[in-house]
Structure 1
Amino acid sequence: ALTYIDEVHAVGMYGPRGAGVAEREGLMGRLDIINATLAKAFGVQGGYIAASAKMVDAIRSYAPGFIFSTSMSPVLAAGARASIAFLKGEGGVELRQKHQEQAKALKLRLKGMGLPIIDHGSHIVPVIVGDPVHTKALSDMLLDGFGIYVQPINYPTVPRGTERLRFTPSPVHGPGEMDALVHALDDLWSQCALNRAELSA
């Protein structure tokens, strides 16, 4: 059996050197294949796998998606290298800590308003809407009325009935921006008469 993990949302974000959840949990040596992206935390474009030389060679030789793709440009490779170098250092440690603090703060504020969020301890803050039409409408209203862009996440990305808005507060979002988002969601949730979670005393 092979052990394969998708670290797309984790590289750059977790672990002492930003290698992902497997690094944070001390499991890097137990995995056969790790796949991830350069398009999220690293801010460029492309994806990669990390595995033994033989495994990588086999995938290169037999994967049509790789065989028929174009190589990464030198500019993107240089950008990825610079991002990785930064995130492996002290600056990356500080950014990861600030990023987790921002996500925690947003979750607490949204929970405090009774918005139905999912909290699995990650930096992603999903707010459950539960209907694809309302999810798209909320996304449009946030952009048109408040200048806030958020992608609606609908089926097949998530199961039907769990449609959501997915927020990822960054380390550089300021208090004013978080306030604007929280107030906009509060207004729109009331305006659209969407359900709020029961608030405990």
Structure 2
Amino acid sequence: MCDVSHDFGAITFVAEVHAVGLYGAMGGIGDMDGIMHKMDIISWNTRALGFVGGYIVGTNALVDTVRSYAAGFIFTSLPPMLLAGARESIQTLKGHCPSHIIPVRIGSLEGVCDIMMSRYNIYEGLRIHLVKAWKEVGLELKLHSSGECNFYQQPLDFELMTEREVLLHRHE
């Protein structure tokens, strides 16, 4: 596909978003198949590493063009803590890691829930063996907290929105 694209003067944009850390030494099908040099722009995301965000690679000119003209990229970057976490995940994957999923034992689920609620006001349930865990801490099975439900039930104030936002919400 890359050869055909280049024969017709097209630029190739390859989404390797689900290949990070799975294929090849550098993490992708293109690397595994030895065709990275034929891929003009490659996009990845860091969800496979346990984080948010993504990135593109290519020549300086192509990346700068995307950064300058693609609305989603203008003035954006990942926070340093996420970059550090992604970097550490890459180091883990480069080691002798049998899986992308690395279990982290946290001890008593009830204790963790108590800490999260009392110290940080985080009331989201942890979804580790969901039914058993919820029963263990004596909580009902609910998808959202009442605070979230109340927020989402509030009517939208269209007078405070831009015309574009109003159109987007009416089509949801």
Of structures 1 and 2, the one scoring higher in RCO (CA 8 A, sep 6+) is: 1
What is the TM-score of this pair, normalised by structure 1?
A: 0.43
Between structure 1 and structure 2, the one with the greater Rg is 2
